[in-house]
Amino acid sequence: MVVGISILLDFSGVVDERFHCDQVWRDLIGRLIQMGGMKMLHLASHQFSSVKQKELADERNLQTGGTTAFALLSESHISVHTWPEFKKVVIDIFTCGPTIRLDDMIEYLREHIPHENLVVTRFERGE
């Protein structure tokens, strides 16, 4: 018996530094949740280095960390992890609500995040 769906989105070639910034992701997760018809229970994020720190690091040719964000939902969760040094953004959407508009959420992310490649993997959970 399926209790939920995991959507794993793996973006490559994400050079726009906004998508490695936690505040941008806090806003974007809020929009996704609204779009998906979900209810937020809790939102947390962590910036491994600020955009300003990244600029300084770039000047010195150093690697910097990305951002990580997580929303706990009535309908399960959304997580985001980014690696600016590898131009990667990895998003998980786990839903257990039958009416969630998952396709709209995936299309919104695909169109909204400039990237070179996107791999979407879908898993039925609990079987």
**Longest CA pairwise span in the chain (Å):** 53
96 a catalytic residue: yes
Does the protein bind a second copy through residue 76 (CB under 8 A)? yes
Interface residue with a second copy among 55, 104, 120, 123 (CB under 8 A) is 123
3-state helix, strand, coil in the chain (%, to 5): 35, 40, 30
Min. distance of Cβ 120 from a second copy in angstroms? 12
Positive or negative: CA dihedral 87, 110, 92, 40: positive
Does the protein bind a second copy through residue 53 (CB under 8 A)? no
8 Å CB contact between 15 and 115? no
20, 76, 77, 115: which one is catalytic?
76
Does the protein bind a second copy through residue 10 (CB under 8 A)? yes
C-alpha span between 1 and 110 (Å, rounded): 30
C-alpha span between 125 and 127 (Å, rounded): 6
Does the protein bind a second copy through residue 96 (CB under 8 A)? yes
Q: What does the binding site for a second copy look like in residue numbers (CB under 8 A)?
A: 1, 3-4, 6, 8, 10, 12, 41-42, 44-46, 68, 70, 72, 76-77, 79, 81, 83, 86, 88, 90, 92, 94, 96, 119, 121, 123, 125-127
**Active-site residue list:** 76, 81, 96
